[in-house]
Amino acid sequence: MANRPLLLGRPVKIPASPNRAVLDRVPNPQAGTNYVARFSCPEFTSLCPITGQPDFAILVIDYVPAKWLLESKSLKLYLASFRNHGAFHEDCTVAIGKRIAKLLAPKFLRIGGYWYPRGGIPIDVFWQTGRPPAGVWLPDPGVPPYRPRG
């Protein structure tokens, strides 16, 4: 990672797959302070591995950084790489959380995948690394549970 320039500040194409996507990290200038950083992706898309039909979700990623911050352009490209990737909702959500946690080694990380219905059933998937540090304000993800029209 140290031998490769960051994706930030240069043109980059969307990776062909999540495995080919690069996630960048940058030093946390507030490493001695516990705080929550949140990324929201309101238009996440992947493919159903059985039918090939698109699946849509809202992703909310909260983490308490330690030494590293997640660089947002690389995250955007990584998430976009799922557009042509076939995987179940659970696999997408948990794999994203685990990859970010492995890269950053944060004090805490949680991801919520709020998936739109397929076959009439919405599937929400939640994963976290443990408990948040004491005294950290962890706001509600702000995504209401799915409610059908009517």
Cite the active site residues. Answer: 48, 55
Number of other CB atoms surrounding residue 32 within 10 Å? 6
Q: Is the sign of the CA dihedral 41, 79, 54, 91 positive or negative? A: negative
H-assigned helices in 1-150: 72-80, 89-104
Closest CA to 75 of 59, 91, 87: 59
Distance of alpha carbon 107 from alpha carbon 112, whole angstroms: 17
DSSP strands (E only) in the chain: 25-27, 37-47, 54-64, 68-70, 108-115, 124-128
> Tokens representing 49?
């591995």
